[in-house]
Structure 1
Amino acid sequence: MTSFSDEDSKKDLAESVDDRTDATSTENLKSQGNSDIALEVLHAGDDPSLNALTFRTWSIGVGLGAFGAIVNTMFHFRPRILDISQVLLALAAYILGIFMEKCTPKSGFIGYWFNPHPFNSKEHTAIIIIASSASQVPIAIQVIAVQKLYYNNAPSTALSLLIVLSTQCLGYGFAGILRRAVVYPAKMVWPMLLPVNSLLEVLHQEREKPSHRRRIMYWVFTAILLWQFLPEYIMPILSGVSVFCLANQSSTIFTTIFGGSNRNEGLGLLSLGLDWRFITSQPLWYPLQTLTNNLIGYIICIALFAAVYYGNAWRAQDFPFLSQLLYSGNSTSSNFILHGQKGAVDEQGLPYFTGTFAISLFTNSLYITSTIVHLLLWNWPDIRKAWDFARPQRLRKLVTLSFWTSNPEVVEHDEVVNNPHYQFMRAYKEGPNWWYAAVFITSTIIGLVCIYTANTTLPWYGFLISILLAAILCPFFGAQAALTGYQGKVQPLMHLLGGLIHPGSPTANLYFTLFGHASITHALNMTRSLKLGQYAKLPPRITFVAQLLGTLLGSVISHAVMTAITADQRSVLLDPPSNTAVVWSAARPQHLRALATAFGDHGLSLFSLARRPLPRYALIPLGLLLGPLLTLPAFFLSRLFPSHSTITRSLNTPLVAASAGVLATLPSTSAMPAYFAVGFASQFWLRRYRPGWFARHNYVVAAAVEAGAQVCGVLVTLLLRGGLGGWAEVPMPGWWGNNVGGNFDRCPAAGDAAAGLGMVRDAGGGL
């Protein structure tokens, strides 16, 4: 087995990053494989003497976490959504850490306790984990907001807070089991972590001397920051330049096909979006295989949406082209659904989805089951480690005290033995199994108590079924995120199954979906943090504590902010004034309420395959049965024609299916052509023809792009868009580049086509 001494580690740390070309296997990079990309672009060295737990760690981590939780939750209820990302938190943490290092005395009592050594990468990583886990708005917050606004049956403050904490922590128990499968092996890359880990390298390992990577990062960050003021504020037409709409500003057909600068406008075909909020840094770190399959799905999506709408399937032309709400059968109003008017269904018929959103739910069903079959066929050796605990000899160990009190057994399979990042982590104690078990058991007990005392109408067996489903699905979606970088949506599946198991109860549907969906989401959050810690050589026990601390902090703060907003702004959220600028918006609760109504109130009538004739949206559950069939042809072709297996193996049908409905929910479809252009320029051209430059700079540039766009978004939103509340908005005067009151790309408004969910996002584009 390969061993790494402290001397080897320190020598590795002393090597210049700019000399990495000599150590980088250009042939490996040119091969376009992704299994060893982290070994090529990140150092595997470690300095065990670095201390991660200092006053700086706790103070900055808690402070940034509180800030992120307040801002993200507050903007959850704004029409202009602003997300504080992990990269932005990492940049802020570095500035604050260096400030505290320079401004705090280094000697005496103060120096010993508050500034014992220079700000280091392990402190920085722990801060990032605390702050990012606190900044994530709990999924339960949306459910409780729906109850407060529309059902008037919200649980008490104490119970709702316990529900938030339970759903946040349930998945962490699954993460303890997933470690062997999706954290330890080298091929489980988690591509989304490469930019932030590259940023940590540049900021710390190259801190003491001039670095070409550092200069490039600063230049890119500054350029993106300055550029973003154009599409964000001064010249919004740059977020979607459509030659077709500029040539014909009277055709609504052009709007639906070529428009896309505004939310729910159109498909954005052949548009040029130059707004990095919507392009994002994602195409710079998505593997080429993921990008290629997403491109195939994107092309299919355009064809499907156009065919459904202009073919008038499900009466598509009677409703907006793009929207995520429900609509009545004889009008385009969704008020009767949102406000629960009794007898409305008898008068107006069963509600409708827009045709495009129905197709997106169908493709999501295809994605769910094709993912399971795809990973069973192609990656069974990888994911089976997640179920090693179920082997008879391991089950017998579950009843012994030593299993729960000891560290997890040392994993010796080849993919872990050959992972230098994991081998360095062997110097630190793993979090014992009982930590994860205790969190899971405690969260389960709290959840069971809450579903009855809070009158959720979800029975105990529904609760357990949702948790069991999450446990089954976690290894598949964890492996998919780790291998491809794509983390898909399981929420529609949980809504569908919840509606069929508990028909006629939207509240039960909300909670069934909440416990299942949140458990998967937070299990992947914990495993992703463990992988972040592995790359940064942060001891796993510190990672666990940091993640849990951030989760508890963020849950309390997000709950308090949500409670205040839904109480103080209730009338505005339920009935926004039409004659003034919209400051508060219930768009997200409305969307969740629409899903709960469709699947909870009318699940059997709209989706049950047992009904005859088949209900209106039988295609959506049918997608669960058709999904596996998508994967089988490529698998069997690879067996029949092994010489061409590279092509068939590269076809990832789950990713194609997921992208075949993606345009229904994107904030700006005009960004997609630029998105793919950036991705292929990075992951194909640079990686193949400039592999040395790619290894040194690509992921640093990705971090700089994201940070620059985020900083500009924060400045514009808080200072110019009135995001600070009492700070007056400074509107940009209308001119040709700023089409005030209309679509930014000057496509004509297509009736109600933009009326679905009137949100403008500052982040969160991409696939």
Structure 2
Amino acid sequence: MSRGKFFFIALICSFAWFVVPGYLFPTLSTISWVCWIYPKSVTAQQIGSGMGGLGIGAFSLDWTVIASYLYSPLISPFFAIVNVAAGYVLVMYMLLPIAYWGVNLYNAKNFAIFSSHLFDAGGQIYNVSALVNNKFEIDMPAYERQGRINLSVFFSLTYGIGFASVVSTLTHVALFNGREIYKQYRRASQSVKVDIHTRLMRKYKDIPNWWFHLMLLVSMVLSLVMCIFMKDQVQLPWWGLNFAAGLALVFTLPISIITATTNQSPGLNIITEYIMGLILPGKPIANVCFKTYGYISMSQAISFLNDFKLGHYMKIPPISMFIVQCIGTIIAGTVNIGVAWWLLSSIENICQDQLLPPNSPWTCPGDRVFFDASVIWGLVGPKRIFGSLGNYNALNWFFLIGALGPLLVWLLHKAFPSQKWIKLINLPVLLGATAAMPPATTVNFNCWIVVGTIFNYFVFRYRKQWWQRYNYVLSAALDAGVAVMGVLLYFSLTTYEKSISWWGTNGEHCDLATCPTAKGIVVDGCPVY
């Protein structure tokens, strides 16, 4: 069968099936059967919930759940899947149970075991709106009345491991790729042997360097104008913008190498938030802007390189790629802002899951984490969370763990060079495995690891010819099918509020999974111990 015909058949199947978990039977998106067996047990639902617990036995029949946060598992190399699986098991099934049930770390039982929400000492959702004054800065008397912000034990551990992950990226690349980077740098100014792809691409006119320089200059000037003339709204000073650009420049190369070899990209979100939170505490908008210019700039640079690499192999003229990317960026940015503005103004209580009706699609899990991060790092500041004035200062030791971890792996590799598997231990990927959690949940990881293992190990090993011919085509077809059906469902049913209501549309049925288990903590809908 030709790849085109296979793509079309797989797309039709994906398109037709998504109407079931996407509209008719949404519970198939998160099948947490342990909760069905124990509908009144908080502990059982904490263990079995794929959305708010450990996700033991939870799985999904929805491709959007499988490929939403970690991208398609069909295109990730098997050693990267193993590293992600190892990090996931270490955090989710070793550290978290010990922290919650074993030692009750940070009064873990007072709060949900898995949640991105912020809590007060009594286990209630923290009233963040009361902390913000009319200048969008922290109101210290209000903060002192409410007390310190508390995190779920998983959320706090995720931040600690995130500290280790970002530092380990620099150490790992320096030890395992430093010599190669230096050699490539020296060869850049010399004539080198070119491969067939480069030879074929030389028939096209290359992109003039001044195009890139001009785009950088225009972007920086516009950003500086915004920081200088809209400083009350943006809060970010001009030097903060330059600092963020410098961070993005430093980390782009090492993280690009990790992405190119593993298909996983460690993020700079935590380190950018931490730095600006220490420099300008109490200014959440400044923190968000610094994070965007530091982390998102690097992320977009890697995406840009990825597109050009694909265009290089597909023999697309570089100038055409550049122009299309510029046009696409302008269109996408304009449409995104317009849609966001429309949604925020037309949907009541959007992103406030405590106020939305059950099974509302407007819970915005990713935006919720982004908002909570702006409160933690910007409004309240890391000193009152992870410093001497907070509850979680011990998590700073993870920076040291991240710095020394790759060194240990490198020394083991040098001591036992015949053991090839040691070099495949990629600590930035292993430690950053759970960086997407939350908003990603255990059901996302369970399915991603299982599907990735099946296709990248068993199918590759026993049906290598099929894997080489159809694997990437299948991944693209599944993505395209659910995307087309998702758009169709939205415009034909969701916009007209056409919905059905039965057991299969009422979520995963694990309502008790987010309940606290400490004595005397009272939360609506939860039993009191």
Q: What is the TM-score normalised by the length of structure 2? A: 0.86
Return the match for 2:426 from 629, 646, 652.
Answer: 652
1:470 deviation in Å? 0.8
1:322 deviation in Å? 2.2
1:589 deviation in Å? 4.9
CA–CA distance in structure 2, aligned partners of residues 330 and 294 of structure 1: 35
Tell me what 1:730 maps to: 499
Return the match for 1:476 from 245, 254, 259.
Answer: 254
| Matching residue's letter, 2:423 | R
Classify 1:673/1:578 alpha carbon distance in 2 versus 1 (closer, same or farther; 3 Å).
closer
1:542 deviation in Å? 1.3
1:608 deviation in Å? 5.8
Return the match for 1:459 from 232, 237, 247.
Answer: 237
Mapped contact 1:470–1:520 kept (Cα < 8 A): yes
Mapped contact 2:205–2:319 kept (Cα < 8 A): yes
Mapped contact 2:386–2:394 kept (Cα < 8 A): no
| Matching residue's letter, 2:7 | M
Classify 1:597/1:580 alpha carbon distance in 2 versus 1 (closer, same or farther; 3 Å).
closer
| Matching residue's letter, 2:197 | H
Mapped contact 1:297–1:658 kept (Cα < 8 A): yes
CA–CA distance in structure 2, aligned partners of residues 665 and 564 of structure 1: 23
Tell me what 2:470 maps to: 697
Return the match for 1:718 from 491, 500, 511.
Answer: 491
Classify 1:411/1:554 alpha carbon distance in 2 versus 1 (closer, same or farther; 3 Å).
farther
| Matching residue's letter, 1:230 | V
1:517 deviation in Å? 1.5
1:620 deviation in Å? 4.1
Q: SS at the partner of 1:642?
A: coil
1:368 aligns with 2:166: yes
Name the structure, 1 or 2, with higher relative contact order (CA <8 Å, separation 6+).
Answer: 2
Tell me what 1:502 maps to: 280
Mapped contact 1:275–1:671 kept (Cα < 8 A): no
Tell me what 1:312 maps to: 104
1:473 deviation in Å? 0.4
Tell me what 1:283 maps to: 73
CA–CA distance in structure 2, aligned partners of residues 598 and 564 of structure 1: 28
- For residues 230-241 of structure 1, the aligned pairs below 5 Å read 230-241=20-31
Tell me what 1:622 maps to: 397
1:739 deviation in Å? 5.3
1:522 aligns with 2:320: no
- For residues 261-410 of structure 1, the aligned pairs below 5 Å read 263=51, 265-280=52-67, 282-302=72-92, 303-310=94-101, 311-337=103-129, 340=132, 342=139, 343-384=141-182, 388=185
1:556 aligns with 2:334: yes
CA–CA distance in structure 2, aligned partners of residues 273 and 570 of structure 1: 30
| Matching residue's letter, 1:750 | A
Name which one, 1 or 2, has greater alpha-carbon Rg: 1
CA–CA distance in structure 2, aligned partners of residues 229 and 411 of structure 1: 56
- For residues 37-76 of structure 1, the aligned pairs below 5 Å read none
Which ranges of structure 1 fall in alignment gaps of 5 or more residues?
1-210, 395-408, 754-767
Tell me what 2:209 maps to: 433
Deviation sequence 1:348-385 (CA, Å, 0-9, x none)? 21212221111111111111111111111112244447
| Matching residue's letter, 2:97 | A
Cα RMSD of the aligned pairs, angstroms, is 2.9
1:661 deviation in Å? 5.0
Return the match for 1:593 from 357, 371, 390.
Answer: 371
Deviation sequence 1:598-630 (CA, Å, 0-9, x none)? 112332533566x4xx74222444322320211
Return the match for 1:750 from 513, 516, 520.
Answer: 513
Classify 1:255/1:289 alpha carbon distance in 2 versus 1 (closer, same or farther; 3 Å).
same
CA–CA distance in structure 2, aligned partners of residues 241 and 575 of structure 1: 21
Deviation sequence 1:303-346 (CA, Å, 0-9, x none)? 22223332322222222222223223345122234762642211
What is the number of residues matched between the two proteins? Answer: 503
Classify 1:534/1:423 alpha carbon distance in 2 versus 1 (closer, same or farther; 3 Å).
same
Q: SS at the partner of 2:18?
A: helix
1:573 deviation in Å? 6.6
Q: SS at the partner of 2:132?
A: coil
Mapped contact 1:242–1:271 kept (Cα < 8 A): yes
| Matching residue's letter, 1:218 | F
Classify 1:589/1:337 alpha carbon distance in 2 versus 1 (closer, same or farther; 3 Å).
farther
CA–CA distance in structure 1, aligned partners of residues 95 and 353 of structure 2: 34
1:590 deviation in Å? 4.5
Mapped contact 1:220–1:704 kept (Cα < 8 A): yes
Tell me what 1:160 maps to: none
Return the match for 2:412 from 626, 632, 637.
Answer: 637
| Matching residue's letter, 1:734 | W
Classify 1:569/1:683 alpha carbon distance in 2 versus 1 (closer, same or farther; 3 Å).
closer
Deviation sequence 1:630-659 (CA, Å, 0-9, x none)? 111111111111111x11111111111011
Q: SS at the partner of 1:515?
A: helix
Classify 1:584/1:461 alpha carbon distance in 2 versus 1 (closer, same or farther; 3 Å).
same
Identity %: 26
Tell me what 2:519 maps to: none
Tell me what 2:323 maps to: 545
Q: SS at the partner of 1:729?
A: coil
Classify 1:705/1:316 alpha carbon distance in 2 versus 1 (closer, same or farther; 3 Å).
same
Mapped contact 1:496–1:621 kept (Cα < 8 A): no
Tell me what 2:520 maps to: none
Deviates more, 1:478-487 or 1:566-575: 566-575
1:551 deviation in Å? 1.3
Deviation sequence 1:42-101 (CA, Å, 0-9, x none)? xxxxxxxxxxxxxxxxxxxxxxxxxxxxxxxxxxxxxxxxxxxxxxxxxxxxxxxxxxxx
Mapped contact 1:338–1:593 kept (Cα < 8 A): no
Classify 1:618/1:579 alpha carbon distance in 2 versus 1 (closer, same or farther; 3 Å).
closer
Q: SS at the partner of 2:39?
A: coil
| Matching residue's letter, 1:239 | S
| Matching residue's letter, 2:166 | I
| Matching residue's letter, 1:428 | Y
1:251 deviation in Å? 1.4
1:225 aligns with 2:15: yes
Which ranges of structure 2 fall in alignment gaps of 5 or more residues?
134-138, 517-529
Classify 1:306/1:590 alpha carbon distance in 2 versus 1 (closer, same or farther; 3 Å).
same
CA–CA distance in structure 1, aligned partners of residues 368 and 448 of structure 2: 29
CA–CA distance in structure 2, aligned partners of residues 625 and 583 of structure 1: 40
Classify 1:317/1:378 alpha carbon distance in 2 versus 1 (closer, same or farther; 3 Å).
same
CA–CA distance in structure 2, aligned partners of residues 514 and 242 of structure 1: 36
Deviation sequence 1:445-484 (CA, Å, 0-9, x none)? 2212211211123222222211111100011111211221
Q: SS at the partner of 2:19?
A: helix
Mapped contact 2:49–2:513 kept (Cα < 8 A): no
CA–CA distance in structure 1, aligned partners of residues 317 and 379 of structure 2: 48
Classify 1:242/1:579 alpha carbon distance in 2 versus 1 (closer, same or farther; 3 Å).
closer
Classify 1:532/1:410 alpha carbon distance in 2 versus 1 (closer, same or farther; 3 Å).
farther
Classify 1:411/1:325 alpha carbon distance in 2 versus 1 (closer, same or farther; 3 Å).
farther
Mapped contact 1:607–1:617 kept (Cα < 8 A): yes
CA–CA distance in structure 2, aligned partners of residues 473 and 545 of structure 1: 26
CA–CA distance in structure 2, aligned partners of residues 298 and 589 of structure 1: 23
| Matching residue's letter, 1:324 | S
Mapped contact 2:266–2:428 kept (Cα < 8 A): no
Return the match for 2:384 from 606, 620, 625.
Answer: 606
CA–CA distance in structure 2, aligned partners of residues 575 and 286 of structure 1: 33
| Matching residue's letter, 2:473 | V
1:285 deviation in Å? 0.5
